[in-house]
Amino acid sequence: MIWDRENECRPRADLRRLQNERLRETLARVYETMPFYRERFDAAGLKPRDVCSQAELARLPLLTKNDLRDHFPYGLFAVPLKEVVRVHASSGTTGKPTVVGYTRQDLETWAEVMARLVTAAGVTAEDVAQVSFGYGFFTGAFGLHYALERVGATVLPVSGGNTERQVETMLNFGSTALICTPSYALRIAEVMGEMGIDRSLLRLRWGLFGAEPWSENMRREIEARLGIFATDNYGMSEIIGPGVSGECQERSGLHINEDHFLVEVLDPDTGQPVPEGEPGELVFTSLTKEAFPVVRYRTRDISKVTLEPCPCGRTTARMARVFGRTDDMLIIRGVNVFPSQIEEVLLAVEGAEPHYQIVVERSGALDDIEVQLEVSERTFSDGARKMFTLRELVEHRLEVALGIGVRVKLMEPGAIERSQGKAQRVVDKRKL
Ligand code: DLL
């Protein structure tokens, strides 16, 4: 099913024209109303009318999270606060959170773009959708909530946490779609096991997961444990929240809502565009947002984008699942490693559990990592010899996949902390 055929299946030449038109409008508006952007245009010797397409857009500087923090809380709102009907904020593990606002029209846009993705993932008015993201400043729950209502699904606003209650709700209310982070889905499956509830008792069919990086092997694991069809969806508070892109049933990339968000893929070091299909950092410009427009926002997320047509019929560009964030990238003896690459290896190992953490330390001038991986009850009780063989195997596979030797520590079942939202995969002891 396609929610909005006109906008999701538009011929690419028409889409380009629409994007350029909206880009011009956005730039003219930020120039007129926001001193921050006007200064940037002036410094680049540009007027909004000089920017007629993406090529000229590249002459404007990139917008960073620090720029947003410097204007905390409302400094980059483009409309008076009385026109803002909702505020969200991203947690901001370091320093101030970033604050974003929505006009009534922005909320309308958000529900609409997210409704496309919810539909692409398989959810319809027949479904009972359990939203297990935390309701609050985080955009995940509200973003999915209004879109699910819009497609007519029956929404259960359970919010995050209290995992036993999540399982009871699935059981008692007949949830057919689960909405949360992939790591929390796994935790829910685990607690279901502890409660002695078999998945055949559930009506669950769909899993709509996002908000953190995950691997294809993680998808298989969750699908097997919960008996569902799982899709990935992506977004971030600064751009709108969830709703930027999501997978269709083909699951070969996440369709970007390009009529609202213009994407560039840049080399994170040089800021230059990479060729189509090559990995780079995603940079977005909002094309329709009123309260919080962003021009060339650096996401720090690494992915690649293809314009190849998708068999589903949508013509929008597709991005590969996000490999990770540039700030999560580990440089181990000169080799770039993303936690998701490590995850891909760990989750393919028999006898290991899908719970792990990567501890980064500094030994001398070099960074050193230790991968801590939980083993199954069975492996654990099989004794030292079995554990030794398993450790050797995991170390070997990691070396083959990453091209560097990595120390592995096997942990007893339950030793790694579980997440109810975004999992913390990397423990960086260098900063402690
Ligand atoms: O996580 C928005 C969201 C909520 C997306 C629910 C999908 C579902 P923030 O809290 O601002 O917003 O965090 C944004 O999370 O820059 C990525 O690094 C990461 N992220 C989000 N979705 C994915 C995904 C929400 N599907 C940051 N895969 C982004 C990988 C993701 N990383």
- Find the CATH number of the domain harbouring 335: 3.30.300.30
| Spacing, Cα 364 to ligand 1 middle (Å) | 34
Residues 277 and 400 grouped into a single domain: no
Closest approach atom of ligand 1 to CA 301: 18
- What mean pLDDT comes out for the span 40-62? 92
User: Is the CB of residue 322 below 6 angstroms from any atom belonging to ligand 1?
Assistant: yes
Last residue of one domain, picked from the residues 325, 348, 364: 325
For the chain, what percentages of helix, strand and coil (3-state, to nearest 5) are there?
Answer: 35, 25, 40
Q: CA-to-CA distance for 252 and 321, rounded, in angstroms? A: 9
Q: What is the pLDDT of residue 92?
A: 65
Closest approach atom of ligand 1 to CA 209: 8
Give the 3-state secondary structure of residue 256.
strand
Q: Which of 216, 236, 304, 340 has the most ligand 1 atoms within 8 A of CB, as the residue to mutate?
A: 236
Residues 297 and 417 grouped into a single domain: no
- What mean pLDDT comes out for the span 57-72? 95
Query: pLDDT higher for 383 or 21?
Result: 21
Ligand 1 atom 4 nearest Cα: 140
- φ, ψ for residue 397, nearest 5 deg: -65, -40
Last residue of one domain, picked from the residues 325, 342, 373: 325
Mean pLDDT of the chain: 95
CB 209 within 8 A of CB 231: yes
Residues 124 and 220 grouped into a single domain: yes
Q: What is the pLDDT of residue 5?
A: 98
pLDDT tops 80 at residue 266 = yes
Q: Which of 110, 113, 212, 300 has the most ligand 1 atoms within 8 A of CB, as the residue to mutate?
A: 212
- What mean pLDDT comes out for the span 297-325? 97
Closest approach atom of ligand 1 to CA 91: 10
Residues 321 and 335 grouped into a single domain: no
Which CB contacts under 8 angstroms, 24+ apart, belong to 8-12?
8/116, 8/255, 8/314, 8/315, 8/316, 9/313, 9/314, 9/315, 10/259, 10/315, 11/315, 12/307, 12/315
Q: Which of 301, 303, 325, 420 has the most ligand 1 atoms within 8 A of CB, as the residue to mutate?
A: 301
Q: CA-to-CA distance for 246 and 240, rounded, in angstroms? A: 14
| Spacing, Cα 212 to ligand 1 middle (Å) | 5
* End-to-end Cα distance, the chain: 49
Which pLDDT band, with edges at 50, 70 and 90, does 80 fall under? very high
Q: What CATH number is associated with residue 53? A: 3.40.50.12780
Residues 379 and 309 grouped into a single domain: no
Residues 240 and 341 grouped into a single domain: no
Neighbours of 83 (CB within 10 A): 16
Neighbours of 89 (CB within 10 A): 18
Q: What is the pLDDT of residue 19?
A: 97
Encoded amino acid at 262, one letter: L
- What mean pLDDT comes out for the span 294-306? 98
Q: Which domain holds residue 392?
A: 330-428
Residues 102 and 178 grouped into a single domain: yes
- Positive/negative CA dihedral, 11, 14, 16, 19: negative
- Which tens digits make up the pLDDT trace of 402-432? 998 899 999 999 999 999 999 999 998 886 5
User: Is the CB of residue 303 below 6 angstroms from any atom belonging to ligand 1?
Assistant: no
Residues 204 and 353 grouped into a single domain: no
Last residue of one domain, picked from the residues 270, 301, 325: 325
Residues 317 and 369 grouped into a single domain: no
Q: What is the pLDDT of residue 54?
A: 84
Q: What is the pLDDT of residue 431?
A: 65
- φ, ψ for residue 408, nearest 5 deg: -120, 135
- Which tens digits make up the pLDDT trace of 218-242? 999 999 999 999 999 999 999 999 9
- What mean pLDDT comes out for the span 80-109? 91
Residues 255 and 383 grouped into a single domain: no
Provide the number of structural domains found in the chain.
2
- Which tens digits make up the pLDDT trace of 177-230? 999 999 999 999 999 999 999 999 999 999 999 999 999 999 999 999 999 999
Ligand 1 atom 27 nearest Cα: 236
- Token pair for residue 290? 């009123």
Q: What is the pLDDT of residue 432?
A: 57
Q: What is the pLDDT of residue 368?
A: 84
What's the pTM value of the predicted model, to 2 decimals? Answer: 0.96
- DSSP annotation of 276 reads T
Which pLDDT band, with edges at 50, 70 and 90, does 375 fall under? very high
Ligand 1 atom 13 nearest Cα: 236
Ligand 1 atom 12 nearest Cα: 236
Which pLDDT band, with edges at 50, 70 and 90, does 55 fall under? confident
Which pLDDT band, with edges at 50, 70 and 90, does 94 fall under? low
Residues 275 and 402 grouped into a single domain: no
Residues 251 and 361 grouped into a single domain: no
